[in-house]
Amino acid sequence: MRKVHASLLACAAAALAGCAAGPKAEAPAGVTLAGLWKLNRAASDDPQQLIARMRAQALKIMAAARPGPGIDEAARGGAGGRERGGAGGAGGAPPPDANPLTPDEPAPGGHGARRPDPLQYSPMMHVLSEALARGDFLTVRQSSDELVFDYGTTARSFTPGAHSVVSAQMGVADQVSGWEGPEYVINIRAQLGPNIVDRYGLSKDGQRLIEKLRIGPAELPAVTLTRVYERTSETAPRAPPTND
């Protein structure tokens, strides 16, 4: 009976260890993402549609958080009264749980004034913008101890299976990357702000590299963007050298 009990405990421990294990350092046999790739915009998600959905969600959140006329008047000391100091008042610091979408939103400048972009301060939008700015060309270099995604103007290098601390939109984040089956996964868990999961894998015929990017949830619901790259003979254009 004791042997059976010990065996069950060992199996449970192994199962828990398997669940807790992160991405693996070793690539599956025969799997390589290396090559020259070019973004196929027609086969990829339209980022402008995604941004439009994010903007609509941000407007709803901002409208729900905006105080009504009675609340706003009371905060200003009543009709005709002077503004009070303190949190949210003149000279006061913003409350610690202030909406990151509008940390410094200016008041409308009169009738018909153009309101600021609701995504101007959105950490999730900033992450998405950085991803979109990488360009259409991608060179992937893969070895047993390094995987490099080179976009010409920027390059991202990773050590499979390694943990590291990296900068994030609102501070720092824990990063771990490696292989989950045939996909290479980059998992960035932020102390503040949106988490990011970036997956790269090949199509069944090996002629397409598919990136699945997930951002959030944070100040907005989580969003996903799929980008499809096809093999090409072109290389990513290099940024001209700068003299500072």
pLDDT at site 166: 86
pLDDT at 157: 95
pLDDT tens string 174-211: 999 999 999 999 999 998 889 999 999 999 999 999 99
Main-chain phi, psi angles of 196, to 5 degrees: -135, 130
Please say whether the beta carbons of 223 and 50 come within 8 A: yes
Residue with tokens 């080179």: 150
**238 vs 196 pLDDT, higher one:** 196
For range 46-54, the mean pLDDT: 97
Specify the pLDDT at position 113. 54
Multiple choice CATH, 28-54+122-231, 3.30.300.130, 2.40.110.10, 3.30.360.10, 2.40.128.20: 2.40.128.20
Region of 58 on the Ramachandran plot (φ > 0 left; ψ -120 to 50 alpha; else beta): alpha
Whether 72 has a pLDDT exceeding 70, the answer reads no
Pair 230, 38: CB distance under 8 Å: yes
- Say yes or no to pLDDT of 9 above 50: no
Any idea which residue has 């949830």 for tokens? 217
What pLDDT, on the 0 to 100 scale, is given for residue 86? 40
